[in-house]
Amino acid sequence: MKMSIHLKSSLTLLLMSLLSATPAAAAVCSAESGKSRVALLELYTSEGCDSCPPTDQWFSALPKRGYTPQRVLALSFHVDYWNYLGWKDPFAQARFSERQREANRRINSRVVYTPQLMLNGADYRRGGFGDDLGQRVSAGNGQAPGAQISLTVTTDSNQAKLNAKVVRNGTTSAAQAFVAVYENNLATDVPAGENRGKRLLHDFVVRELYGPFALNANTPLLIEQSISKDRGWKAADLNLAVFVQDSATGTALQALNLPWCTSG
φ, ψ at 24 (rounded to 5°): -65, 150
Residue range 93-113: mean pLDDT, rounded: 96
- From the list 124, 234, 246, 221, the residue with the least C-alpha distance to 181 is 234
Residue 127's pLDDT band (boundaries 50, 70, 90)? Answer: confident
The overall longest dimension of the chain from CA atoms, in Å, is 86
Cα separation, 210 vs 163, in Å, equals 13
φ, ψ at 105 (rounded to 5°): -65, -35
Residue 16's pLDDT band (boundaries 50, 70, 90)? Answer: low
Q: 186-232 pLDDT, tens per residue?
A: 999 999 999 999 999 999 999 999 999 999 888 999 999 999 999 99
Q: DSSP characters for 100-149? A: HHHHHHHTT-----SSEEEETTEEE--BTTB--HHHHHHHHHTSPPSEEE
Residue range 148-156: mean pLDDT, rounded: 95
φ, ψ at 166 (rounded to 5°): -125, 130
Cα separation, 75 vs 180, in Å, equals 8
Q: 196-206 pLDDT, tens per residue?
A: 999 999 999 99
CB contact at 8 A, 148 and 177: no
CB contact at 8 A, 45 and 161: no
CB contact at 8 A, 132 and 73: no
- From the list 76, 49, 44, the residue with the least C-alpha distance to 60 is 76
Measured from the Cβ of residue 167, the count of other Cβ atoms closer than 10 Å reads 16
Give the type of residue at 31: A
Cα separation, 211 vs 71, in Å, equals 23
What CATH fold (topology level) applies to the domain 24-259?
Answer: Immunoglobulin-like (2.60.40)
Measured from the Cβ of residue 244, the count of other Cβ atoms closer than 10 Å reads 31
Q: 49-91 pLDDT, tens per residue?
A: 999 999 999 999 999 999 999 999 999 999 999 999 999 999 9
Cα separation, 49 vs 196, in Å, equals 10
Residue range 225-253: mean pLDDT, rounded: 95
